[in-house]
């Protein structure tokens, strides 16, 4: 079989871009044997060509002029690894409309502008692939779109942000929030400005993409209910440990009765649950559907080489399936409604700070009962002249729980601190107790 030379351009040449170039160069023989194509990086768009790089791009590869990519008819395949919505979005749209296929690792771009991007790809007869935008080296998009195409997936549950998972693992080992964040930044898992990670925005974009692909219906980013770990306290981690649970930042997408609910936030995960054991900068995604019951995919979710491996896999898929590739089309084929935000039910952990005096427990139970929230476990602990109440409830809608907490915060005996976190467990609530 005669090898076909494929000129490739990179939009961006930071950590991920350099790693993509290195993999294409070092694994070129293997790629050629598998596909009959030799992928060769000929242009890389950068802001500052003089900056040091993790891999030598070679002579005349770096450019600051995007027109050298857009106007070169020999470049039919581009990897966008520059990040940000603009100008990356304009560049990608121009390429797709002109018939050039694009692989992107840009979660915000795909989550915010998916319809426009897929329309451009269809108009230009090009492919858009985005595996690296979600869980780096974990091929969850490919599994959802190809292996599970007739499975009727109705739930996606996962740890989709390696930075926060690393931090929460460190906090479970006794570090403070500040110490865990500093360590994550020192090791390169967290950016100097970690807002998107700790605020849950990174995970929200990934869950919007996963829900869209899993359910075949567009899930806009603003449908995702988001809570980060930046308001989490060490006391929550300690309470989870006492309940034989772990605190994790979870993404949860549920399709029920033609309506979808997608949310990101900290949760108490039963130590017996598969996600509880996922520590450090790792991701894991559980897919539940009619034909498969449950599949869990786990692997590294952060890092340049891990993301680059997913980018290269998509590049290889494009050159190996041009004209017949399953992923050429928009994954959306239907329209489902958004579930009202407070309707999804869960087990809950409640932490309430109150005055330590008679009658308070009865008042608390009364406010919960008014909203139909049933208490399964309750433990009271002294705290500097007050009392901390740790409550595990039976399954209840989120809106009911929040209404009960609002009433509890307004009680004269309340010290104003009443928070709720969902509990994820495959055991019955009666089996959950204090260690």
- Residue the block writes with tokens 């009959």: 36
Predicted local confidence at residue 345, as pLDDT: 94
pLDDT tops 80 at residue 428: no
Predicted local confidence at residue 1, as pLDDT: 55
The question of whether 142 is a catalytic residue gets the answer: no
CA angle 31, 35, 37 (to 5 degrees): 75
Predicted local confidence at residue 329, as pLDDT: 72
How large is the average pLDDT for residues 194-217?
A: 96
* Dist. CA 93–CA 113, nearest whole Å: 10
pLDDT tops 70 at residue 308: yes
- Residue the block writes with tokens 């990608």: 92
Cα→Cα distances 212→104, 262, 266, Å: 17, 10, 22
pLDDT tops 80 at residue 2: no
Confidence of residue 290 (pLDDT cuts 50, 70, 90): confident
pLDDT tops 90 at residue 68: yes
Predicted local confidence at residue 310, as pLDDT: 94
Say which of 107, 142, 206, 248 is annotated catalytic: 206
Q: Is cis: bond before 87, omega within 30 of 0?
A: yes
How large is the average pLDDT for residues 19-37?
A: 94
pTM of the model: 0.93
pLDDT tops 80 at residue 301: no
- The pLDDT mean for the chain works out to 92
Express each pLDDT in 314-372 by its tens digit. 999 999 875 545 555 788 889 999 999 899 999 999 999 999 888 888 899 999 999 99
Instruction: Please provide the DSSP assignment of 193-237 as one string.
Output: S-HHHHTTHHHHHHHHHHHHHHHTB---GGGSEE--STT--HHHH
Cα→Cα distances 360→352, 373, 375, Å: 11, 17, 15
> Which of these ranges, 102-106, 157-161, 269-273, 303-307, has the smallest mean pLDDT?
303-307
> Which of these ranges, 142-151, 158-167, 234-243, 342-351, has the smallest mean pLDDT?
142-151
Q: What is the 3-state secondary structure (H, E, C) of 39-70?
A: EEEEEEECCCCCCCCCCCCCCCCEECCCHHHH
């Amino acid at each position: 079989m005669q090898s076909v030379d494929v000129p490739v351009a990179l939009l961006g040449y930071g950590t991920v871009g350099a790693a993509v170039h290195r993999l294409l160069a070092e694994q070129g023989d293997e790629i050629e044997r598998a596909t009959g194509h030799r992928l060769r990086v000929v242009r890389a768009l950068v802001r500052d060509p003089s900056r040091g790089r993790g891999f030598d791009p070679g002579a005349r590869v770096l450019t600051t002029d995007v027109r050298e990519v857009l106007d070169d008819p020999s470049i039919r395949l581009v990897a966008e690894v520059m990040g940000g919505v603009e100008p990356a979005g304009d560049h990608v749209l121009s390429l797709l409309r002109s018939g050039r296929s694009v692989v992107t690792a840009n979660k915000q771009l795909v989550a915010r502008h998916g319809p426009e991007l897929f329309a451009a790809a269809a108009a230009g007869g090009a492919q858009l692939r985005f595996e690296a935008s979600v869980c780096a080296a974990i091929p969850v998009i490919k599994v959802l779109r190809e292996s599970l195409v007739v499975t009727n997936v109705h739930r996606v549950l996962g740890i989709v942000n390696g930075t926060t998972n690393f931090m929460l693992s460190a906090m479970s080992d006794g570090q403070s929030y500040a110490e865990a964040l500093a360590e994550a930044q020192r090791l390169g898992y967290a950016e100097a400005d970690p807002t998107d990670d700790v605020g849950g925005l990174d995970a929200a974009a990934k869950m919007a993409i996963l829900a869209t692909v899993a359910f075949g219906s567009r899930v806009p980013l603003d449908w995702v209910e988001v809570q980060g770990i930046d308001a989490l306290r060490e006391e929550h981690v300690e309470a989870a440990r006492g309940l034989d649970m772990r605190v994790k930042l979870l993404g949860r997408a549920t399709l029920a009765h033609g309506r979808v609910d997608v949310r990101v936030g900290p949760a108490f995960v039963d130590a017996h649950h598969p996600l509880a054991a996922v520590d450090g900068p790792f991701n894991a995604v559980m897919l539940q559907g009619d034909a498969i019951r449950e599949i869990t995919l786990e692997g590294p979710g952060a890092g340049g080489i891990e993301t680059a491996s997913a980018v290269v896999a998509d590049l290889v898929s494009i050159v190996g399936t041009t004209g017949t590739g399953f992923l050429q089309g928009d994954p959306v084929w239907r329209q489902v409604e958004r579930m009202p935000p407070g309707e999804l039910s869960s087990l809950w952990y409640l932490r309430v700070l109150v005055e330590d005096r008679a009658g308070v427990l009865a008042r608390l139970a009364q406010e919960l009962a008014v909203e139909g929230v049933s208490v399964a476990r309750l433990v009271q602990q002294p705290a500097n002249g007050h009392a901390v109440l740790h409550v595990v409830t039976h399954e209840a809608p989120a809106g009911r729980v929040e209404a009960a907490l609002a009433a509890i915060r307004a009680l004269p005996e309340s010290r104003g601190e009443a928070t709720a976190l969902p509990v994820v467990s495959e055991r019955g609530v009666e089996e959950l107790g204090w260690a």
